[in-house]
Amino acid sequence: EERELGRLRSKPSRTLDGSDIALYANAESLDDVARAHVLGAAGLGLYRTEFLFLQRNQPPDEEEQFQTYRDVILGMNGRPVTIRTLDLGSDKVDRSGLTLPHEGNPALGVRGVRLSLAHAPVFETQLRAILRASDYGPVRILVPMVSSREEIIAVRRCLKKVAAQLREQGHPVAQRLPLGAMIEVPAAAIGMAGFIGLVDFVSVGTNDLVQYLLAADRNNEALGELYSPLHPGVLRLLAHVIRLGAEHGKSVSVCGEIAGDPRLVPLLLALGLTEFSLHPATLLEVRRCIRASHLQQLRDNAGKLLQARSRSGIERWLKRNSA
Ligand code: PEP
Ligand code: MG
């Protein structure tokens, strides 16, 4: 079985009826990057930058960030790398001094893009490092915890300022890097039409989206199955985001853990997803499931999936539609 999986490294992620599905990898270390490359990931769909900021008393400077991002980009050897800007918050253990010492409800607090916009110098340093590194390969910038059009406008303003400064200082900077929003706040998913025109792509962070939609803490094991993507409300919203992206010609990926769960492949394909970003550990298994799937058949059955009234209804659909 290991050998059979191994053979999939060089195989396309193509469905039985000939559609190519893009499998990107999530990474947070150079080890992950190396694995992603070896497994034939289409690129990095989510490179988390938080770890650079954790376990230290000062945020990393521009040079350190630049070198790290450059090494990640070089490690992917020309395949696109999606760098997510800092997603710190007091939900993470942090000594950098950026997060608030105490928040009553950290998951709903100053985190992600909110924190970045509250610390302009830190955000600009990160953007400078990303823009400089983008000279070494194709880069996209992904912004976490977006909830409004205004935040995208503010991020674009920062990006523009930083790019102009860098050019003035003689650094080569790509004309325009693709900018994307994480869709993980319910209002951003429901109201995506309001800002989709301002971004080049979106990536659905289902880990947080599920938590916020179901009012179920993603880290609280006492909640058991209450925290689950297999809820009719979650699937409807996912379907909406995927459809809206397609209508606007914008790429939509899912980078939450569900994209790396082989059992959920038929469901995500049925909803119209064509880009997955997942941990390298399950990339080959997901590829195997994709290769055993008939895309058109699944899409034809999407109506039934969206009519399911409960978790068990969704599970029955999955049983009937698994390869
Ligand atoms: C998510 O929320 O689904 C996600 C991919 O981001 P993180 O797990 O880093 O919050
Ligand atoms: Mg998230």
SS3 state of residue 166? helix
Catalytic entry in 39, 162, 192, 255: 255
Structure tokens at 62: 């521009």
Known catalytic membership, residue 158: no
| pLDDT confidence of residue 173 | 87
8 A C-beta contact, residue 110 and residue 146: no
Q: Are strands 139-143 and 81-84 parallel, antiparallel or unpaired?
A: parallel
SS3 state of residue 64? helix
**Which atom of ligand 1 has the smallest separation from the CA of 255?**
5
- Give the closest residue to 252 by CA, choosing from 5, 39, 21: 21
Q: Apex CA 204: angle with CA 198 and CA 205, to 5°?
A: 125
Choice from 84, 86, 182 to test ligand 1 binding pocket (greatest atom count within 8 A of CB):
182
249: left (phi over 0), alpha (psi -120 to 50) or beta: left
Structure letter (DSSP) for residue 78: T
8 A C-beta contact, residue 240 and residue 186: no
Check: complex ipTM more than 0.95 = yes
| pLDDT confidence of residue 266 | 98
Q: pLDDT (tens digit, 9 = 90+) per residue, 5-58?
A: 899 999 999 999 999 999 999 999 999 999 999 999 999 999 999 999 988 889
Task: Please give the distance, rounded to the nearest whole angstrom, from the Cα atom of residue 17 to the centre of ligand 1.
Answer: 31
202, containing H or E segment: strand 201-204
**Could you count the other beta carbons within 10 Å of the beta carbon of residue 100?**
14
Q: pLDDT (tens digit, 9 = 90+) per residue, 52-105?
A: 998 888 999 999 999 999 999 999 999 999 999 999 987 777 778 888 888 999
